[in-house]
Amino acid sequence: MATNFKPALIVVDLQEDFCPPNGSLAVANGRDIIPTINTLLSLPFALKIATKDWHPADHISFASNHAGKKPFTDFTTIINPTNAAETYETRLWPVHCIQNTAGAELLPELDISKIDKVVEKGTVKEVEMYSAFYDPCTAIDSAKEGFKTVVVAEGTRGVDQPVTTWDKVKEELEGKGVDVVSMEGEEVAKVRNA
């Protein structure tokens, strides 16, 4: 029986600046997901990609580049450089993941030998890119492109940690065609058995 099952894995922004103890935008318990990610990397995915935030020092998302603005609470307007009529608001952040700095590197505990391609995003100073595709979310953008998309819950942490926030994120993902699954679920088992 022929199959078109060609699973791909995208590991999003598992970088020093997003993890304790020294990350400038450290996500609580960010390093805790590394064993899960390394287990996923050991599975027979057809393609394994990692993304990296890779910002210039004068990036628009840094609060320090806006007089009187504070990270986490203030916002700025992003203007599409190819169509000034398109704008959106984005939250301002502490300086993080500056190109060619230790904070922008993938975590050393991550088995990078199993990653096929690294995609650097956020490289244009006037534009904030959260997604490996367009924006705002890699998983949602993947589903929009017609890919069967899942997020492995045990391999995920977010900047906004309260349970109510994760529940809201799961609801949004599922509403946009993304399944949130478990490492022990049938979706991951299908990859294991591929």
pLDDT above 60 for 155: yes
Cα four-point dihedral sign 72, 10, 180, 134: positive
pLDDT above 80 for 174: yes
Q: In what order do the strands lie in the sheet with 47-53?
A: 8-12, 47-53, 117-121
In the residue annotation, 97 being an active-site residue is answered as: no
In the residue annotation, 13 being an active-site residue is answered as: yes
CA distance 156 to 137: 13
pLDDT above 80 for 148: yes
Catalytic residue among 19, 48, 52, 121: 121
Residue 135's pLDDT is 72
From the centroid of its chain, how far is CA 115?
A: 15
Catalytic residue among 17, 48, 137, 141: 137
Reported as half-sphere exposure (CB side, CA atoms, 13 A), residue 109 has a value of 14
Contact status, residue 171 vs residue 151, Cβ threshold 8 Å: no
User: Confidence class of residue 64 from pLDDT cuts 50, 70 and 90?
Assistant: very high
Q: Residue 77: beta bridge partners?
A: 89
In the residue annotation, 179 being an active-site residue is answered as: no
Residue 163's pLDDT is 65
More confident residue, 163 or 54: 54
CA distance 160 to 72: 10
Cα angle for residues 134, 61, 117 (degrees, 5° grid): 45
More confident residue, 1 or 114: 114
Contact status, residue 52 vs residue 104, Cβ threshold 8 Å: yes
Q: Give the residue carrying structure tokens 């320090």.
A: 64
Average the pLDDT over 86-94 and give the result.
Answer: 94
Distances (CA, A) of 78 to 59, 126, 132: 11, 7, 18
Catalytic residue among 13, 17, 53, 141: 13
User: Confidence class of residue 136 from pLDDT cuts 50, 70 and 90?
Assistant: confident
Comparing C-alpha atoms, which of 69, 61, 75, 77 is closest to residue 24? 61
Average the pLDDT over 110-121 and give the result.
Answer: 98
Mean pLDDT of the chain, nearest integer? 94
Q: Give the residue carrying structure tokens 């949130």.
A: 180
Q: Write down all domains in the chain, each with its CATH number in brackets.
A: 10-192 (3.40.50.850)
